[in-house]
């Protein structure tokens, strides 16, 4: 009898312990399975192949993480999100075709992307015609939100459907100019660009400010970004008294250009914008990339507490490749669309409007009021669709890494 | 028979009282448990509870540590408050800056400077000063032109360099003021250098 009682006690204790233990480590990993749920497709456009694919894949993976997180957390009751990613190979025409394709898919309620400003410009009107909201994590050309006369102070928003989480070249170029002139005390620059919307625009904003400060542009040149041999331009730079080179363009051409300039005898730094802020730049330029500078949108992620979970989740997600310069912005762009969908669902008694055009229109309108603490800081949009989070940073290549050397906040 | 209902009684080891006489008022049956069994049952319950709590205490996830306070730059804002009507200083430009903090986040401003070697800056109050949590503080900034030959006349993006401190970190950061600051500064420098102080 005594043994039986002890057995009962032991069993009861064991069962209780297991039950309590199980509660403490319960893994609720149910993914949105769809049962009776509405599927909302978030489109994504980025260069997923080609020279800029490192940045594009970082954008895609980070958007994927946001979608999975939303489904796992049941962020929007009754809605399962799905990501549809299209490759624009960094070509405006392909981006425009992708935009048409996404508009034609009745389940698409918002689009993340693209990377390149010229691609974005080709997509804007297609989305605007159908009221489909677009949030770019990486377009930095000021014209896209503020119109072509933005420099004269006449800012006009062209597309109510266009938003972005990245800040613009209107700040990025001049900030680099201030840094090189005032802090590095370098007064003579050779300016090169790749003739693209982003590169030429960025080089222009840099040059304008550098000259205003009293700096001298000792030479200018344009390159073809598809080339790999820049020896003639490099020789021209080496023959001037340039203290540094400013390059408006992307890393696939920027890295070999900067390297060949050093090989030509000009041991001077190359400075550029966010499209040089990639581990690929260092990989391509190798030791010659040491001492080069890149500005980038946003504060260094390691100084943002909101980024820590994203970094950990991205790592746990097992994605191929790093999240790169725009991963955090892509996550925030995707999350902004999710929040806009949520606002519309809540406003319409738990469902999206059945009429696709009406649903898209309401989601676009809701985007203007979206505000949340995202990976990159506070996410929200001003009257032009620009981010209200206007931080930027300058990085120097030191020891094979981009190391932050200066950060700033635009308070205007 | 419904599948849902009270658990049916089974055999037990208790002595049951005699059934009530027919016609008597039904009353709730009170089972009398022998003291020896009661003690065992109580002991078993206490042991179960104590062990369960112990096991839970061992296995329960530790409460997450309190998050560190945000970096100072993330909780402070600077807003250009306009040029002072009469700065009283020849060759200088005086203007106001409103510095605000988020609720619960106090920030100390250790320094305010600017990057050009041709300009110098002083503030009132002089740094360091603290902006209380959730409040704003008006600061008067005076920019002095040191070298008209070197000063940038119409910079499109002039900024202040600020050093911010809280319990988390000390951060040096550029604050690029909008709201007409570049235009006002450019005009003031133009005046100062067109008619330099004797």
**pLDDT for residue A303:** 79
Cβ separation of B156 and A377 shorter than 8 Å? Answer: no
Contact in structure between A409 and B73 (CB atoms under 8 Å): yes
Residue B141, sorted as left (phi over 0), alpha (psi -120 to 50) or beta, turns out to be beta
The answer on pLDDT for B34 being more than 80 is no
pTM: 0.76
Predicted pLDDT of residue B156: 85
Interface of B with A in 64-83 (CB under 8 A): 67-68, 70-71, 73-74, 77-80
Assign B56 a pLDDT band (cuts: 50, 70, 90). low
Q: How far apart are CA B125 and CA A339, in angstroms?
A: 43
Cβ B70–A305 below 8 Å, yes or no?
yes
DSSP for A26-57 reads ---------TTPEEEEEEEEE--SSTTHHHHH
User: Does residue B116 fall inside a structural domain?
Assistant: yes
Is the model more confident about A21 or about A38? A38
Kindly report the number of other CB atoms within 10 A of residue A258's CB atom: 32
- Determine contact, residues A156/A149, Cβ cutoff 8 Å: yes
Asked whether residue B158 is assigned to any structural domain, the reply reads yes
Instruction: Kindly give, in sequence order, each residue whose CB lies less than 8 Å from that of residue B35, ignoring residues fewer than 6 positions away.
Output: none
Residue B159 placed within a domain: yes
CB distance A411–B77 less than 8 Å?
yes
Query: Pairing between strand B92-101 and B76-83?
Result: antiparallel
Q: Is A376's pLDDT higher than 50? A: yes
A94-132 burial string, b = 16+ CB within 10 Å, else e? bbbbbbeebbeeeebbbbbbbbbbbbbbbbbebbbebbb
To test the contact with chain B by mutation, choose from A169, A173, A214, A390 the residue with the greatest count of B C-beta atoms within 10 A, namely A214
**What SS3 class is residue A18?**
helix
Q: CATH number of A38-146+155-167+302-381: 3.90.1150.10, 3.40.50.450, 3.60.40.10, 3.40.50.2300? A: 3.40.50.2300
pLDDT in the model for residue B20 = 42
Which numeric CATH code is attached to A170-297+393-409? Answer: 3.40.50.2300
Chain B: residue nearest A173 by CA? B157
* Domain contains B106: yes
Q: Scanning every residue of chain B, which has its alpha carbon at the shortest distance from the alpha carbon of A308?
A: B67
DSSP B87-136: ---TTEEEEEEEEEE-TT--EEEEEEE-S-TTEEEEEESPSSEEE-TT-E
Chain-chain contact of A409 with B176 (C-beta, under 8 angstroms): yes
Q: Chain A interface residues facing chain B, Cβ-Cβ under 8 Å?
A: 5, 8-9, 12-13, 16-17, 19-21, 23-25, 171, 174-175, 177-179, 182-183, 208-209, 212-214, 299, 303-305, 377, 406-412
- So where are chain A's domains? 38-146+155-167+302-381, 170-297+393-409
- pLDDT one-digit tens code per residue, A253-283: 999 999 999 999 999 999 999 999 999 999 9
User: Does residue B65 fall inside a structural domain?
Assistant: no
Contact A8 B71 (CB under 8 A): no
Print the domain residue range for B115.
72-194
Instruction: Please tell me the predicted confidence (pLDDT) of residue A305.
Output: 80
- Could you read off the pLDDT of A286-307 as tens digits, one per residue? 999 999 999 988 888 777 888 8
Compute the distance between CA of residue A119 and CA of residue A109 in angstroms, rounded to an integer: 20
Residues in chain B within 8 Å Cβ distance of A406: 174
Any CB–CB contact under 8 A between B180 and chain A?
no
pLDDT of the residue at A77: 95
Chain A residues in contact with B159 by the CB 8 A cut-off are 178, 408
| Residue B84 located in a structural domain | yes
Cβ contact A119:A95 at 8 Å:
yes
pLDDT (tens digit per residue) in A228-243 = 999 999 999 999 999 9
Reported as a pLDDT band with limits 50, 70 and 90, residue A6 is very low
CA atoms of B30 and A46, how far apart (whole Å): 76
Strand A401-410 to A391-398 pairing: antiparallel
Give me the pLDDT at residue B49, please: 73
- Indicate the average pLDDT of chain B: 79
Q: How far apart are CA B61 and CA B44, in angstroms?
A: 27
B15, exposed or middle or buried, with CB in 10 Å at 0-12, 13-18, 19+?
exposed
Based on the structure, what is the number of domains in chain B?
A: 1
Closest approach of chain B CAs to the CA of A349, in angstroms?
34
Q: Which residues pair with B120 in a beta bridge?
A: B144
Alpha-carbon distances, residue A72 vs A32, A107, A317 (angstroms):
6, 20, 13
Q: Would residue B38 count as lying in a domain?
A: no
CATH number of the domain that residue B172 is part of: 2.60.40.1230
Q: Which candidate, A153, A397, A151, A391, places its Cα nearest to that of A293?
A: A397
Which residue matches tokens 């972005």?
A: A164
Complex ipTM > 0.90: no
């Amino acid at each position: 009898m005594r043994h039986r009682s002890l057995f009962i006690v032991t069993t009861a204790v064991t069962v209780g312990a297991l039950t309590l233990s199980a509660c403490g480590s319960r893994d609720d990993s149910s993914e949105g399975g769809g049962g009776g749920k509405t599927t909302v497709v978030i489109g994504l456009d980025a260069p997923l192949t080609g020279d800029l694919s490192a940045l594009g894949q970082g954008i895609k993976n980070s958007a994927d993480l946001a979608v999975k997180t939303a489904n796992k957390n049941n962020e929007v009751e009754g809605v399962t999100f799905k990501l549809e990613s299209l490759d624009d190979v960094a070509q405006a025409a392909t981006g425009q075709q992708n935009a048409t394709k996404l508009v034609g898919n009745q389940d698409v309620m918002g689009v993340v992307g693209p990377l390149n400003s010229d691609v974005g410009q080709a997509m804007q009107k297609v989305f605007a015609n159908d009221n489909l909201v677009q949030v770019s994590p990486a377009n930095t050309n000021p014209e896209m939100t503020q119109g072509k006369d933005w420099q004269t102070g006449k800012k006009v928003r062209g597309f109510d459907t266009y938003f972005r989480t990245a800040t613009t070249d209107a700040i990025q170029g001049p900030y680099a100019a201030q840094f090189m002139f005032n802090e590095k005390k370098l007064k003579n620059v050779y300016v090169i660009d790749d003739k693209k919307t982003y590169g030429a625009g960025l080089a222009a904003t840099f040059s304008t400010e550098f000259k205003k400060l009293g700096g001298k542009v000792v030479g200018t040149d344009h390159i073809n970004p598809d080339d790999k041999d820049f020896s003639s331009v490099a020789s021209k730079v080496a023959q001037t008294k340039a203290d540094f080179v400013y390059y408006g363009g992307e890393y696939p051409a920027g890295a070999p250009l900067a390297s060949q300039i050093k090989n030509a005898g000009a041991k001077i730094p190359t400075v550029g914008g966010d499209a040089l802020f990639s581990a690929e730049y260092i990989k391509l330029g190798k030791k010659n990339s040491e001492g080069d500078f890149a500005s980038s949108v946003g504060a260094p992620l390691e100084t943002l507490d909101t980024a820590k979970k994203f970094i950990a989740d991205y790592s746990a997600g097992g994605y191929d490749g790093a999240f790169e310069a725009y991963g955090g912005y892509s996550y925030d762009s995707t999350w902004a669309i999710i929040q806009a969908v949520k606002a519309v669902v809540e406003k319409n008694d738990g469902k999206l409007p059945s009429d696709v055009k009406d649903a898209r229109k309401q989601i676009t309108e809701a985007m203007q009021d979206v505000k949340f603490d995202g990976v990159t800081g506070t996410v929200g949009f001003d009257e032009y669709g620009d981010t209200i989070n206007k931080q930027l940073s300058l990085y120097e290549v030191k020891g094979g890494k981009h190391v932050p050397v200066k950060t700033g906040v635009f308070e205007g | 028979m419904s599948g849902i209902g009270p658990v049916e009684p089974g055999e037990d080891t208790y002595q049951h009282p005699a059934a009530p006489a027919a016609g008597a008022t039904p009353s709730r049956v009170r089972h009398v448990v022998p003291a020896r069994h009661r003690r065992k049952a109580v002991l078993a319950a206490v042991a179960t509870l104590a062990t369960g709590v112990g096991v839970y205490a061992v296995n329960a996830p530790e409460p997450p540590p309190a998050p560190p306070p945000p970096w100072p730059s993330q909780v402070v804002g600077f807003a250009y408050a306009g040029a002072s009507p009469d700065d009283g200083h020849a060759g200088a430009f005086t203007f106001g800056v409103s510095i605000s903090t988020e609720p619960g986040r106090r920030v100390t401003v250790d320094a305010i400077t600017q990057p050009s070697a041709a300009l110098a800056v002083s503030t009132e109050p002089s740094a360091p000063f603290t902006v209380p949590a959730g409040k704003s503080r008006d600061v008067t900034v005076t920019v002095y032109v040191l070298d008209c030959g070197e000063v940038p006349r119409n910079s499109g993006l002039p900024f202040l360099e600020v050093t911010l401190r809280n319990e988390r970190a000390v951060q040096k950061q550029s604050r690029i003021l909008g709201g007409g600051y570049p235009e006002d500064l450019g005009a003031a420098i133009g005046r100062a250098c067109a008619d330099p102080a004797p």
